[in-house]
Amino acid sequence: MQISDDTNHVINFIEDVFPDSIQNTNDLANILEIGALFGLHTQINELIFTATAIQYMKKRIISAPANDSSTEKMKIELQKSLQDFKEMLQNIKQIAKGNNLDVNFRSYLSENTSSVENLISISSDLALLKEVQNKMREKQK
């Protein structure tokens, strides 16, 4: 898939703000490019929001004390968010496919443990984008 200069600028800007932090550069670029090409602003914003929530819950679960009763509830919510995130990626893939673009999100859409790890990884990249957006908003104030 051909990535536009605008999308490349966004990726490069994230890398400038968070050096060596993006784990899935090509997939992140593909997601953002598909969103831009087909006007999927709402879907991409929902994807970014869900990705940020996934990262927040992951950090909270990791840092929670072993006997914290809220951890189990958060794990359930994390699973729901991962499923929602996966469905959003599937929808983006279908839109691309319907427009004759072949995007390989197989590593995120499979039903195995590595797929969950990959979903968490790409959600981390999208959460970085949210952090950049927040930093930009703060500078504007």
pLDDT tens-digit profile of 87-141?
999 999 999 988 888 788 888 888 888 999 999 999 999 999 999 999 888 888 7
Amino acid sitting at position 98: G
Name the nearest CA neighbour of 42 among 82, 91, 104, 97.
Answer: 91
Q: What is the model's pLDDT at position 106?
A: 83
The rounded percent of the chain whose pLDDT value lies above 70 is 100
Q: Is 77 exposed, middle or buried (0-12, 13-18, 19+ CB in 10 A)?
A: middle
| Contact yes or no for 26/1 (Cβ under 8 A) | no
Q: What is the mean pLDDT of the chain?
A: 92
Query: Given a cut of 80, is residue 50 above it in pLDDT?
Result: yes
Cα separation of 52 and 140, whole Å? 22
Q: What is the model's pLDDT at position 104?
A: 82
| Local structure of 24: helix, strand or coil | coil
User: pTM for the whole thing?
Assistant: 0.90
Query: Given a cut of 80, is residue 67 above it in pLDDT?
Result: no
